[in-house]
Amino acid sequence: MDYYTSLTKYNCGIDLHSKQMYVCVVDKDGEILIHKNIKGNDFGYFLKITKPYLSDMTVVCESTFNWYWLADACCDADIEFVLAHALYLKHIHGGKNKNDRIDSKKLAHLLRANFIPPAYAYPAKHRPMRALFRLRMNYVWDRSSLLGHLKMNQYAEGLVPVPTKARGRKEWEKSILDQYTDPILKMSAKCDIEMIYSYDKQIALLEKTLVSQAKKFFSREYSSLLGVPGIGKIMALTILFEVDDINRFPTVKDFLSYSRLVKGSVASAGKIKGLTGGKMGNAYLRWAFGQIAITAKRCDPLIKIYGEKIINKHGKFKGNAILGNKIARCVYYMLKKGEVFDIEPLISKSF
């Protein structure tokens, strides 16, 4: 875990909520200069009360759901902003009492003492693209739920579910509706199908927009990722929009850790007591590299042979995880060096 090093004379901790923020400003000696609650998240008032310290002040807040506007406002006001990693930041959870006043004070003191574990403040320029990509993912999951609901209802009535990939949507719809004789059941199925059609339309629109944005901002990276076995349009978009800038990872180990492809450990006196940190990192990248590992074995005969060797040795679940880890290593060096995919390092034991 790395910690942010504050170089400013004044440090400000903000416990941020949707309708208020508790602000604490301290100097290098830890003396509290401002400690108050700001209703309505009035940033103009925040600038007013912190005006004597703004020229040499750093602001920190936790990476909660609503930090975007605060980061952008600090950037516009030329204030140094640090996003604290909420899961790593366990220091504020200690103590007998915990409230906004105490949390803001602890954040300020942790920043002053250089004990803030920073998270990546995703740039405002690319943030809408990532939000659009995650919206597409939510729509895909919702559509999957509807497809599952249709299938469940067919099983409940003793019917044989109609495969969705075996035919076009219109023929698929007709085959489902023809199975029902009860008008109420037919209406229920028709409602699910109409919603699925709506999701199909929106997902196709989002994908078209996302691909155009990827080609605009990550043209070279997008093209090189499509050359990796197992990586198609959606997996390439996942990697690009979730990573943003590969240079924010100094080493491949940092990238693998962020992608949830390695587990942390708890050790004491040279003995490993257990594993930890399973939820530290990006869940979308963990899913993506897991899927890529499975698909890559179907796309490339050499990867299939190599993957089967790993699975025979470690089992299916761990074998796929190892293969996903090695593919992620290849992706890291590809994006870092601007190179195309090379299968030799992937199937090398030393890689």
Q: CA-to-CA distance for 301 and 254, rounded, in angstroms?
A: 30
Whether residue 309 sits in one domain with residue 241:
yes
Report DSSP state, residue 161.
P
Specify the pLDDT at position 350: 62
The answer to whether residue 118 is domain-embedded is no
CB 343 within 8 A of CB 300: yes
Pairing of strands 20-26, 32-39: antiparallel
Beta bridge partners of 272: 267
13: part of which helix (H) or strand (E)?
strand 10-16
14: part of which helix (H) or strand (E)?
strand 10-16
CA 230 → CA 234, 241, 327, 329, 341, distances in Å? 11, 18, 10, 14, 12
Whether residue 304 sits in one domain with residue 240:
yes
Whether residue 300 sits in one domain with residue 276:
yes
| Structural domains of the chain, count | 3
Q: What angle do CA 338, 340, 346 make, to 5 degrees?
A: 115
Whether residue 133 sits in one domain with residue 209:
yes
The answer to whether residue 71 is domain-embedded is yes
- pLDDT averaged over 10-residue windows placed end to end, the chain, 351 residues: 91 96 97 97 97 97 94 96 89 76 94 94 94 96 95 92 77 91 94 96 97 94 95 96 95 94 76 70 94 94 92 92 94 94 81 64
Q: Position of tokens 């996942």? A: 238
Whether residue 205 sits in one domain with residue 103:
no
Whether residue 341 sits in one domain with residue 240:
yes
Whether residue 331 sits in one domain with residue 244:
yes
Q: CA-to-CA distance for 21 and 43, rounded, in angstroms?
A: 10
Specify the pLDDT at position 91: 60
Q: Which CATH number belongs to the domain containing residue 32 in this structure?
A: 3.30.420.140
The answer to whether residue 2 is domain-embedded is no
Specify the pLDDT at position 269: 72
Tokens of 88: 């790593």
331: part of which helix (H) or strand (E)?
helix 316-337
Whether residue 335 sits in one domain with residue 254:
yes
Report CA dihedral (313, 286, 240, 79) to the nearest 10 degrees: -140
Q: CA-to-CA distance for 149 and 145, rounded, in angstroms?
A: 6
Specify the pLDDT at position 351: 64
The answer to whether residue 34 is domain-embedded is yes
Specify the pLDDT at position 98: 85
SS (H, E, C) 83-128: EECCCCCCHHHCCCCCCHHHHHHHHHHHHHCCCECECCCCCCCCHH
Q: CA-to-CA distance for 112 and 10, rounded, in angstroms?
A: 8
Whether residue 309 sits in one domain with residue 212:
no
Q: CA-to-CA distance for 309 and 314, rounded, in angstroms?
A: 9
Whether residue 155 sits in one domain with residue 90:
no
Contacts of 283 (CB under 8 A, 6+ apart): 260
The answer to whether residue 225 is domain-embedded is no
Beta bridge partners of 244: none
CA dihedral sign of residues 298, 302, 308, 311? negative
Q: Domain boundary residue among 112, 138, 169?
A: 112
Tokens of 330: 């290849």
The answer to whether residue 91 is domain-embedded is yes
What are the start-end ranges of the H helices in 218-282? Answer: 219-225, 233-243, 252-258
Report DSSP state, residue 4.
B
Helix (H, G, I), strand (E, B) or coil at 276: strand
Domain extent for 258: 232-346
Whether residue 107 sits in one domain with residue 132:
no
Whether residue 77 sits in one domain with residue 140:
no
CB 23 within 8 A of CB 38: yes
Specify the pLDDT at position 97: 81
Q: CA-to-CA distance for 7 and 111, rounded, in angstroms?
A: 10
The answer to whether residue 227 is domain-embedded is no
Tokens of 166: 């075996």
Specify the pLDDT at position 167: 62
Nearest to 262 by CA among 274, 276, 248, 249: 276
Specify the pLDDT at position 344: 86
The answer to whether residue 120 is domain-embedded is no
